[in-house]
Amino acid sequence: MLNLRIVALSIALLVGGCSDPSLHPHADGDAERGRALLDQYGCSGCHRIPGVRAATGIIGPSLDRLGRRVYIAGVAVNSPEELARWIRDPQAVKPGTAMPNAHVSEQDAHDIVAYLYALR
């Protein structure tokens, strides 16, 4: 019984640590510009995004607390570089994904990442 408690406590600590925002690096970019770009690129049509007007989509996952997540699309480690790569070319990260390529520029992707990382 003691071993089961130790295992349960260990799992709880690991899971809690995985969502610790201090474990994720800071994202460079203009977060306010990124917020506006999320609407401009049509992300609000598929996703619920806190702080983005009319972003009440239910096709894709909600992007709230994205800065705390460990993985992107279940396949890439959540880092500013990988999230920007996902935003720019989702098919390269996860072939067959339903997320379309919105032809986001590199700078725009960095600004979007800065905003999404602020959602902790």
For 76-111, what is each residue's pLDDT tens digit?
999 999 999 999 999 999 999 999 999 999 999 999
Name the band, by pLDDT with cuts 50, 70 and 90, for residue 24: low
CATH value at residue 31: 2.60.40.420
Which residues lie below 8 Å from residue 37, measured CB to CB, with a gap of 6+?
Answer: 104, 108, 111, 112, 115
Q: Which domain holds residue 109?
A: 24-118
Let me know if residue 95 belongs to a domain: yes
Domain count, the chain: 1
Q: Let me know the angle formed at the C-alpha of 5 by 4 and 10, rounded to the nearest 5 degrees.
A: 100
Dihedral pair phi/psi, residue 115, rounded to 5°: -70, -45
pLDDT digits (tens, 9 = 90+) for 38-83: 989 999 899 999 988 888 888 999 999 888 888 999 999 999 999 9
pTM: 0.78
